[in-house]
Chains A and B, each alone.
Chain A
Amino acid sequence: MADNNGTYLIRGAAILGGDAEDLLIRDGVIAARGAGAATHADAEGATVIEAAGLVALPGMVDVHTHLREPGREDAETVETGTRAAALGGFTAVHAMANSNPVADTAGVVEQVHSLGRAAGWVDVRPVGAVTVGLAGEQLAELGAMADSRARVRMFSDDGICVHDPVLMRRALEYVKAFDGVVAQHAQEPRLTAGAQMNEGAVSAVLGLTGWPAVAEESIIARDVLLAQHVDSRLHVCHVSTAGSVEIIRWAKERGINVTAEVTPHHLLLTDDLVRSYNPVYKVNPPLRTDADVQALRAGLADGTIDVVGTDHAPHPSEHKECEWAQAAMGMTGLETALSVVQHTMIETGLMTWADFARVTSTAAARIGRLADQGRPLDAGEPANIILVDPAARWTVDPAKMATMGRNSPFAGLELPGKVVATFYKGHPTVLDGKLNTPYRESAAAAAGAA
């Protein structure tokens, strides 16, 4: 890039899918919006980005990402995972705690946080483990992680359910001290021993051990009541069943402080795909039925489900090129999330682009307590912005992705929508749909942040 002092003039982007306006970005913030942006004093020498036909949205915030580092750098690293995130339209990701070592101490979360800053593609927000080693026996030092440089606010044993009701109660109570949230992986372990796929008509035929919906719903029912009892904040990860949507709707009507997330794959795919026995469709919670998919879409549209979380879970190929029962659970999702949500929610007429901004950015930033993310696209706000071409069509090819994971269940599907540019703190990490350069903190900013 030419030296332009970090100044960009975005011309004629449909702000949140509304009217076409100009946006002037300078020094990491939106300097001006609208008719005056082009003639603004700061606009001189700006790099002009013609954005007619593109939609401008706040940078997406993922509440649920597995970056695999430290420990499984053969699956993903913070560098590769955050490149994928930037290409997918994200400006912040929450890195789940099930690394090796587990992110259950201030040391590990600070390591992940600094790896994220060094990479410079997105804001990496480490999630702290609720229990030591994800073992479900003893609370991790949640306060130390909250006070660390990583400023952890979300805590989760994701991958494993905090199934002990007393431990869950204590965790919910304890995080109130620093405005934290417990993100629960709702899976009753005894009801899901050896579970391989959704329990129902398809599992009966395939002879694969079932993962019944009730194993998710019973934990959510318990946890919303616990959250009410101790007056704390609960987040439910990857809601996958129609019954779960009903329980969360009921809880919200009662004023319980619960938020919920749905993955893109649960908005589109069903357990019929398991008939192929192809482990690319193996995921936890499992793909459910079409009735569940429809209920999840309706729940996301009416606000019962607050956010989309990718549950991006890259795996090395040998963990998927095997028997179904041997295969690892999980799918990649960072580079397909926007397209799948556009396909399932916007092109179906269930949501607008403004709703999209809410469920992929605003609400997600609020859950994670990220002050600089999910903000309105107004003058003075941080310039975390993406430009999306909603008319683009592309065929998913995992081999061309930035993530190291090749386990995309959308491989071969034609999907709408393409991220043309991603601005992270005013810097274009993605331009013309391709990776540009990472954001680099100035010495002064780095000092200020530390």
Chain B
Amino acid sequence: MKHLLSTEDLSLTNAIRILDTAEEMAAVGDREVKKLPALRGRTVVNLFFEDSTRTRISFEAAAKRLSADVINFAAKGSSVSKGESLKDTAQTLAAMGADAVVIRHWASGAPHRLAATDWIDAAVINAGDGTHEHPTQALLDAFTMRRHWAKLSGNGSIGADLKGMRVAIAGDVLHSRVARSNVWLLRTLGAEVTLVAPPTLLPIGVEHWPCKVSYNMDETLEQGVDAVMMLRVQGERMNASFFPSTREYSRRWGFDDNRLRALDTLGLKDTIIMHPGPMNRGLEISAAAADSPRSTVLAQVRNGVSVRMAALYLLLSGDTREPAASVGEARTNTARSTEETN
């Protein structure tokens, strides 16, 4: 594993390894000094072509807790907005000796281009690309679900998967990189996924995905579910006729107060409510649901740092990194000698 580009091609072994490592990293976050020296002297670039303060600061916190040097490169207001190409940007970062590039991009596949071309040799972490994937989000969601699932079973999290867990992912699947990454990763971990969405917000071809599809939120809840993940829905989608109005959307597909009560009447006392954030309170999720004890929203944010620490650690210093080519080795040696002089 040289890069972390998608969960579609992430093996069960590597997924469990990242989650287990994240558990160790979480322990660091509980200490008084929240810092490890693991990536001292290594440079991590947060290359963001799209605004996402939450994801950027999560990666920044993760890299800093591992003692890496962090460079934040926001493409807006930089040379990129003056027409510099991804290729030139990547080669510039390579020339500066970036060891890892955390890339957020509005275009699906941009991280794959960085990884597949010879523009830069650094490890590439996909921090969300277009409507394609957001693998670290799915990993932090899985981490959150695994802790919950392990607690219910009375066993520990380490080494565990999500076999038998029933997960509903509801909302704008069509435009959601979070939904895609979650479907693949949850399949790999053995969970049973149901997508709940208006037919307009499901992609053509979804019938080939390893999950069930429902147009009815209430039926999905009645059939029993252990986690409900609500996806962010942009109200402007109604202008392109994906749904008639935000009110109709909320009534049919939102997680409102009635559905929060339904979990109790259905006897689903351990069902958790998840959201990747940022939330549209009153649209896809009611305030009561978001703030209920079932909500894992803040735990997800906290776990995000641990999971991103694990990803950075494993890609930059872990044993899963394949031996680099000769050029890469030379550069690694340079990095090491820099570390010694510091």
A interface, CB within 8 angstroms of B? 196, 199-208, 210, 212, 276-278, 318, 321-326
Q: List 18 additional A-B contacts (Cβ < 8 Å) besides A201-B208, A204-B203, A276-B116.
A: A199-B204, A201-B205, A204-B205, A205-B205, A205-B209, A207-B131, A207-B133, A208-B108, A276-B112, A318-B85, A322-B85, A322-B113, A323-B105, A324-B110, A325-B106, A325-B108, A325-B130, A326-B86
A–B pairs, 14, beta carbons within 8 Å:
A199-B205, A201-B208, A203-B205, A204-B205, A204-B206, A205-B8, A205-B205, A205-B209, A207-B129, A208-B109, A212-B204, A278-B113, A323-B86, A325-B107
Name the A residues within 8 Å of B131 (CB-CB).
207-208
Asked whether, in the complex, the Cβ of B204 is within 8 Å of the Cβ of A322, the reply is: no
The interface of chain B, by Cβ under 8 A from chain A, is 8, 85-87, 105-110, 112-113, 116-117, 129-133, 177, 180, 203-206, 208-209
Least Cβ–Cβ distance between A169 and chain B, in angstroms: 28
Give every chain B residue within 8 A of A199 (Cβ-Cβ). 204-205
A200 and B204 contact, CB distance less than 8 A: yes
Closest beta carbon of chain A to B161's beta carbon, Å: 22
CB distance from B88 to the nearest CB of A (A): 10
> In the bound complex, what is the Cα–Cα distance between A200 and B209 (angstroms)?
12
**Docked CA distance A203–B131 (Å):** 10
CB contacts (< 8 Å) of B112 on chain A: these are 276-277
- Smallest CB-CB separation from B5: which chain A residue? A277
B107, A324: Cβ atoms under 8 Å?
yes
Contact A277 B116 (CB under 8 A): yes
- Take A278-B116, A322-B85 as given contacts and tell me if A204 and B208 are in contact as well, using a CB distance cutoff of 8 Å: yes
Q: Nearest Cβ in chain A — how far from B177, in angstroms?
A: 6
Asked whether A206 lies within 8 Å of B209 as measured between CB atoms, the reply is no
In whole Å, how far is A357's beta carbon from the nearest beta carbon of chain B?
Answer: 40
Contacts of A203 in B (CB 8 A): 203-205
**What B residues does A325 contact at CB under 8 A?**
106-109, 130
A322 touching B130 by the CB < 8 A rule? no
Q: A276-B116, A277-B112 are in contact. Are A204 and B132 (CB under 8 A)?
A: no
Complex: how many Å from CA A89 to CA B108? 39
Q: What's the minimum C-beta distance from A194 to chain B, rounded to whole angstroms?
A: 11
Given A321-B85, A322-B86, also A210-B109 (CB < 8 A): no
Specify which chain A residues have a CB less than 8 angstroms from the CB of B87 in the assembled complex.
Answer: 321-322
- Once the chains bind, are A207 and B85 in contact (CB under 8 Å)? no
* Partner among B116, B130, B206, B208 whose Cβ is within 8 Å of the Cβ of A207: B130
Q: Is the CB of B85 within 8 A of A277?
A: no
Output the nearest chain B residue to A200 by Cβ-Cβ distance. Answer: B205
Tell me how many residue pairs across A and B have CB atoms closer than 8 Å: 75
Residues of A within 8 A of B208 (CB): 201, 204
Q: How far is the CB of B318 from chain A (nearest CB, A)?
A: 26
Q: Which residues on A sit within 8 Å (CB–CB) of B106?
A: 325
- The residue of chain A having its C-beta at the shortest distance from the C-beta of B202 within the complex is A204
Judge whether A277 and B109 touch: CB under 8 Å: yes
Assuming A204-B203, A204-B209, is B107 touching A323 (CB within 8 A)? yes
B204→A206 contact, CB < 8 A: no
- CB of A216 to closest CB in B, whole Å: 15
Report chain A residues within 8 Å CB of B177: 207
Closest approach, in angstroms, between the C-beta of A299 and any C-beta of chain B? 24
Closest to A274 in B: B109
A201: B residues at CB distance < 8 A = 205, 208
Interchain CB contact (< 8 A) of A324 among B108, B133, B205, B209: B108
The contact of A323 among B110, B205, B209, by CB within 8 Å, is B110
Q: Which residues of A contact B203 (CB under 8 A)?
A: 203-204, 210
Complex Cα–Cα for A324 and B109 (A): 7
Choose among A206, A276, A322 the residue that contacts B108 (Cβ–Cβ < 8 A): A206
State the CA gap A322–B107 with chains docked (Å).
10
**What is the bound-complex CA distance between A208 and B177, given in angstroms?**
11
Flag if B108 contacts A205 (CB, 8 Å): no
B109 with A323: CB separation less than 8 A: yes
With A277-B113, A323-B105 as given contacts, are A202 and B85 in contact (CB-CB < 8 Å)?
A: no
Bound complex: CA A321 to CA B203 (Å): 28
Cross-chain contact A204 with B204 (CB below 8 angstroms): yes
Closest A residue, CB atoms, query B177: A207
Query: In angstroms, how far is the closest chain A Cβ from the Cβ of B11?
Result: 17
| Chain B residues in 8 Å Cβ range of A322 | 85-87, 113
CA distance A388 to B133 in the complex (A): 48
Q: Kindly list chain B residues whose C-beta atoms are within 8 Å of the C-beta of A208.
A: 108-109, 130-132
The residue on B at minimum CB distance from A202 is: B205
Alpha-carbon distance between A25 and B316 when the two chains are bound, in angstroms = 69
A212 and B204 CA atoms in complex are apart in Å by 9
Q: Which residues of A contact B132 (CB under 8 A)?
A: 206-208
In the bound complex, how far is the Cα of B247 from the Cα of A158, in angstroms? 43
Closest A residue to B130 using CB positions? A207
Q: Taking the nearest CB of chain B, how far is it from the CB of A328, in angstroms?
A: 13
Q: CA separation between A148 and B87, bound complex, in Å?
A: 45
Query: Are A207's CB and B204's CB within 8 A?
Result: no
Chain A residue with Cβ nearest B179: A207
What residues on B are CB-neighbors of A318 within 8 Å? 85
A205 touches B109 (CB 8 A): no
Q: Which residues of B contact A205 (CB under 8 A)?
A: 8, 180, 205, 209
A401 vs B300: C-alpha distance when bound (angstroms): 54
CB distance from A209 to the nearest CB of B (A): 8
| In contact, B113 and A323 (Cβ under 8 angstroms) | yes
Q: Nearest-CB distance from A214 to chain B (Å)?
A: 10
- Closest residue to B207 on the A side, CB-wise? A201
CB distance from A449 to the nearest CB of B (A): 46
**Roughly how many angstroms separate A208 CA and B117 CA in the complex, as a whole number?**
20
Shortest B91–chain A CB gap in Å is: 11
Residue from B106, B109, B129, B133 with most neighbouring chain A CB atoms (10 Å): B109
